[in-house]
Chain A
Amino acid sequence: MYQNVYKYDDMKRSEHMAVRETFGWYYFTHQIVEVTGQDSDVFLDEIFANPVANLKPGRARYTTMLNEQAEIIDDVVVFRMEDKRFWVSTLFAFKMLQWFDAHKKERDVAYKNITEQWDMYAVQGPKSRDVINSLTELNVNDQKFFEIRENRIDEIPVKISRAGFTGEKMGFEIYVSPAQGAQIEARLKKAEKEFNGRQVTEFQVMTLTLPAEKGFYYMRDLMHTNPFEVGLEHGIDWNRTFIGREALAEIREKGPEKEMIGFTVDQADVQINHKCFGGPGDPVLKDGEEAGRVSKFTYSFVLDKNIGYILARKGSLKKGDKVMIHGYEAVIADKPFI
């Protein structure tokens, strides 16, 4: 009998639950594209669906990047580091730079991939603020969500951002030069004992189990969708131009054709294929008809059951509906799950 790769795995469970109950830390370096120049704010404001030109220095915002058909082609966090200097945190810098090239026009803007200059450590969970305060020269008590500040750990210059991909109310990210990353790691290891936390080492915990419980997306979930289909339309400022605006306005008018919804599977040991491991995802059958495809399938250690997302035909499924996926019964559920 096939065994659930999460449920019985004590390592994954303890790493996951450390984030939910105390704190977990992990190496979580993303790619950073630095954008500078007099037109940098105007340029980025056109590139992204959500406005970024109105960000104050030191603040950040999550936004989608759309193509002309309003399909999401990336989802990123944009930091305004200075008035005319931005960081875009992405996992697809290569494509992003090509996209920037195609839309730069004659603007006074420059951009480069500076990923190699910065390592990032995520410190997430209820005790994460205490952990950060125990490490940093300046306390972070009044630091707001999506705010990034200069700080020091053992005289090492760092940037501390209050953010994360776990859905935890308290979560921080430490940006540091790779040359000094090992020293930060040593300090975090030491903090494990004091704050009863642990290092998260499993990719699936970082990218699947923790974010999925809270309804977060990874870009693979979003490919070939638009913000209305996946509930990311909030915060779009329609009183400005941005790439994809026209097509998105049409979708707003007509209504989206699809929607991303949650599901759970009570049976523990099941085999369900999902897009986040590649491929089209298993079909979801409602009364024998295909209602959608499985986008993500993973496990909630908090609920102790299988959870996932379905990209479904709009209105075809509602909470409580029973559906069949690869021969297993699943129930449509609210997302986020916890």
Chain B
Amino acid sequence: MSKKIDERLPREIGEGVLPNHASIQSPWGKLMSYHDAAHYCQRYTAVVSAAVMQAFRILVPDYTDRSRLLCENAYNRLWYAQHNIPGYRENVMDNDLNVHPFCAGNFTGGLTGDAGDDGLLMCGRVNDFGSYRVEKELDVCYWDIVGSELCRSTTQSLQACADSFAEKRHKGPKLEYHMVEAKGCGDRHCRIVAESREKFPMPEHEIWECFGPVATEDQIKYTTEDYTVRESMVFREECNYKFCNGTCKEDDSTSLYGPYVNMTSGCTYLIPAIEQLIQEGKAEESFVNHVLKCVAEAAGKAYFAEEYAKEAFRSVTGAPRDVDDGRLMGAHIEMFLQAMNIPYTIEAFNKDEVIYQIDRTALSCYMGRMCMIYVSYWYGMTKTLVNAMWSLWEEPEGAAENMLRIKIAKKIDKFC
């Protein structure tokens, strides 16, 4: 095969002709705005996370066991990061979130949750923020398709941040973070309420039961449909396109990349829990990989299963009618990689083959197993977006160690 790179029109988008756009581009010159790309990332990684959750459900069939593991892992992981990355906690508290020195106790954990939500385009509002009670309400949650176990565990990552923050401040009330409503369970909002048990007593419960009801049900401020928002502050005119929290942390949309788009998804909760299963000898690594691969392939096949999905894809990417080969799948991958700001190079892009080299670390977000999941997922997609004669696989020959080299081409496999 030729390794030729076909003409990608226009080759330089807008250079010298149009203003340079804050956007990503398909191989055929269709632009996707920065705004749409940011949303696209969130939806895309949520769908992948939903698939990984199904694998996790196979590996740990009991809901309670699964939720407990996810919750404990989330708490411990965030606690570890707060304590073991030099300067991380201090930087977040003092320089980023402006956690004032007199903020005693752990209620300021609400600040990190608030900023994190908005960065993940899960917009809403803080309804209460005090030493004994905090309430945050979300109108949008991209993770609402992943599974309620994930909703539970997000509460625990917040709890870990809050408890860790408290260590660096004067002794004060300890709040217990609960998720009272969850869009992932069909509620209108996600709602976290943190309460001091000293002031608002409740029966003790296990870590995974950090799901409402709470003692202060009568203080909950429920935002009705007509007052809800769809966009994060960085995309809202009324906010001057800036996120601004109660302690004057201010960010624009450039802040979305880094900690949010690239570093946080449902998978960043699920994969560490799966790794824990393996480390504790509760699951065989080969079986784990087998399950992940099976689930990801099936999810990928479902992505473009209907003909209208393929039509929509052509519309979004501007794929010419006569292109019906591996380049379609290549375009899909490129749009995703660009939207995620993941470095990649194009080795071949023609009617016979498409080859990319992708930065493994950026793609996997330091979770090596994610590369295998993406390859399986994209393999499945190739079967329906193109057709069953086409395949996608890793072909590492000639690639640097940190580069994932994938090839899309026709392939006969009697054992696929």
* A residues neighboring B (CB under 8 Å): 1-3, 5, 11, 26-31, 91-94, 115, 120, 201-204, 206, 219-220, 223-224, 271, 273, 275-280, 283, 326
Please state if A277 and B101 are interface contacts (CB–CB under 8 Å). Answer: no
Please state if B101 and A2 are interface contacts (CB–CB under 8 Å). Answer: no
Q: Per-residue CB proximity of B90-132 to A under 8 Å, as 1/0?
A: 0000110010111110010000001000000000011111111
Contacts known (A2-B220, A202-B130, A203-B130); A278 close to B246, Cβ less than 8 A: yes
Please state if B244 and A11 are interface contacts (CB–CB under 8 Å). Answer: no
Contacts known (A91-B98, A279-B233); A202 close to B114, Cβ less than 8 A: no
Please state if B125 and A278 are interface contacts (CB–CB under 8 Å). Answer: yes
Please state if B236 and A202 are interface contacts (CB–CB under 8 Å). Answer: no
Which one of B76-84, B221-229, B325-333 contacts A?
B221-229
- A271 to B223 alpha-carbon distance, docked (Å): 8
Please state if A202 and B127 are interface contacts (CB–CB under 8 Å). Answer: no
Please state if A279 and B239 are interface contacts (CB–CB under 8 Å). Answer: yes
- A5 to B244 alpha-carbon distance, docked (Å): 23
Q: Closest residue to B221 on the A side, CB-wise?
A: A271
- A204 to B102 alpha-carbon distance, docked (Å): 12
- A279 to B95 alpha-carbon distance, docked (Å): 20
Please state if B223 and A2 are interface contacts (CB–CB under 8 Å). Answer: no
- A276 to B131 alpha-carbon distance, docked (Å): 15
Cβ contacts A to B, 15 pairs, < 8 Å: A2-B221, A3-B218, A5-B130, A30-B102, A201-B131, A201-B172, A220-B247, A220-B248, A271-B127, A271-B221, A277-B129, A278-B244, A278-B246, A280-B236, A326-B227
9 closest A-B pairs by beta carbon, nearest first, are: A278-B245, A29-B101, A204-B130, A277-B126, A94-B95, A271-B221, A203-B131, A3-B218, A280-B238
Please state if B248 and A92 are interface contacts (CB–CB under 8 Å). Answer: yes
Question: In the complex, what's the smallest C-beta–C-beta distance from B213 to chain A, in angstroms?
Answer: 15
- A5 to B193 alpha-carbon distance, docked (Å): 13
Contact of B125 among A1, A276, A279 (CB under 8 A): A279
Question: In the complex, what's the smallest C-beta–C-beta distance from A6 to chain B, in angstroms?
Answer: 9
Contact of A277 among B127, B219, B223 (CB under 8 A): B127
Which residues 161-203 of B sit at the A interface, judged by CB distance below 8 A?
170, 172-173, 199
- A2 to B250 alpha-carbon distance, docked (Å): 30
Contacts known (A2-B221, A223-B248); A278 close to B126, Cβ less than 8 A: yes
Q: Which of A3, A271, A278 has the most CB of B within 10 A?
A: A278
B293 at the interface (CB under 8 A from A): no
B133 at the interface (CB under 8 A from A): yes
Q: How many A-B residue pairs have CB under 8 A?
A: 94
Please state if A202 and B132 are interface contacts (CB–CB under 8 Å). Answer: yes
Give the residues in chain A near B104, CB-CB below 8 Å.
27, 201, 203
Contact of B233 among A1, A201, A280 (CB under 8 A): A280
Known: A204-B129, A277-B127, A278-B244. 4 other contacts (CB 8 A): A3-B218, A92-B98, A273-B125, A277-B126
Give the residues in chain A near B218, CB-CB below 8 Å.
1-3
Give the residues in chain B near A280, CB-CB below 8 Å.
233, 236, 238-239
Q: Per-residue CB proximity of B128-149 to A under 8 Å, as 1/0?
A: 1111110000000000000000
Give the residues in chain A near B129, CB-CB below 8 Å.
203-204, 277
- A249 to B47 alpha-carbon distance, docked (Å): 55
Q: Closest residue to A178 on the B side, CB-wise?
A: B170
Q: Per-residue CB proximity of B340-354 to A under 8 Å, as 1/0?
A: 000000000000000
Contact of B101 among A115, A224, A271, A326 (CB under 8 A): A115
Question: In the complex, what's the smallest C-beta–C-beta distance from A201 to chain B, in angstroms?
Answer: 6
Contact of A91 among B100, B127, B219, B227 (CB under 8 A): B100
Give the residues in chain A near B240, CB-CB below 8 Å.
224
Give the residues in chain B near A279, CB-CB below 8 Å.
125-126, 233, 239, 244
Please state if B219 and A30 are interface contacts (CB–CB under 8 Å). Answer: no
- A206 to B248 alpha-carbon distance, docked (Å): 17
Question: In the complex, what's the smallest C-beta–C-beta distance from B93 to chain A, in angstroms?
Answer: 10
Contacts known (A1-B218, A201-B173); A277 close to B125, Cβ less than 8 A: yes
Give the residues in chain B near A91, CB-CB below 8 Å.
98, 100, 247
- A93 to B221 alpha-carbon distance, docked (Å): 34
- A326 to B127 alpha-carbon distance, docked (Å): 14
Question: In the complex, what's the smallest C-beta–C-beta distance from A28 to chain B, in angstroms?
Answer: 5
- A223 to B233 alpha-carbon distance, docked (Å): 16
Give the residues in chain A near B133, CB-CB below 8 Å.
5
- A26 to B107 alpha-carbon distance, docked (Å): 17
Q: Closest residue to A6 on the B side, CB-wise?
A: B130
Question: In the complex, what's the smallest C-beta–C-beta distance from B18 to chain A, in angstroms?
Answer: 31
- A133 to B238 alpha-carbon distance, docked (Å): 50
Q: Closest residue to B126 on the A side, CB-wise?
A: A277
Please state if A202 and B131 are interface contacts (CB–CB under 8 Å). Answer: yes
Q: Closest residue to A222 on the B side, CB-wise?
A: B248
Please state if A276 and B246 are interface contacts (CB–CB under 8 Å). Answer: yes
Question: In the complex, what's the smallest C-beta–C-beta distance from B141 to chain A, in angstroms?
Answer: 17
- A162 to B191 alpha-carbon distance, docked (Å): 42
- A194 to B11 alpha-carbon distance, docked (Å): 81
- A279 to B101 alpha-carbon distance, docked (Å): 23
Give the residues in chain B near A219, CB-CB below 8 Å.
248
Give the residues in chain A near B100, CB-CB below 8 Å.
30-31, 91
Please state if B102 and A29 are interface contacts (CB–CB under 8 Å). Answer: yes
- A206 to B104 alpha-carbon distance, docked (Å): 12
Question: In the complex, what's the smallest C-beta–C-beta distance from A272 to chain B, in angstroms?
Answer: 9
- A63 to B148 alpha-carbon distance, docked (Å): 50
- A185 to B102 alpha-carbon distance, docked (Å): 14
Question: In the complex, what's the smallest C-beta–C-beta distance from A114 to chain B, in angstroms?
Answer: 12
Question: In the complex, what's the smallest C-beta–C-beta distance from A173 to chain B, in angstroms?
Answer: 11
Q: Closest residue to A274 on the B side, CB-wise?
A: B246
- A271 to B221 alpha-carbon distance, docked (Å): 6
Give the residues in chain A near B95, CB-CB below 8 Å.
94
Contact of A275 among B101, B114, B172, B244 (CB under 8 A): B244
Give the residues in chain B near A204, CB-CB below 8 Å.
129-131
Give the residues in chain B near A5, CB-CB below 8 Å.
128, 130, 133, 219
- A273 to B103 alpha-carbon distance, docked (Å): 22
Please state if A2 and B125 are interface contacts (CB–CB under 8 Å). Answer: no
- A5 to B200 alpha-carbon distance, docked (Å): 13
Please state if A203 and B248 are interface contacts (CB–CB under 8 Å). Answer: no
Q: Closest residue to B135 on the A side, CB-wise?
A: A5
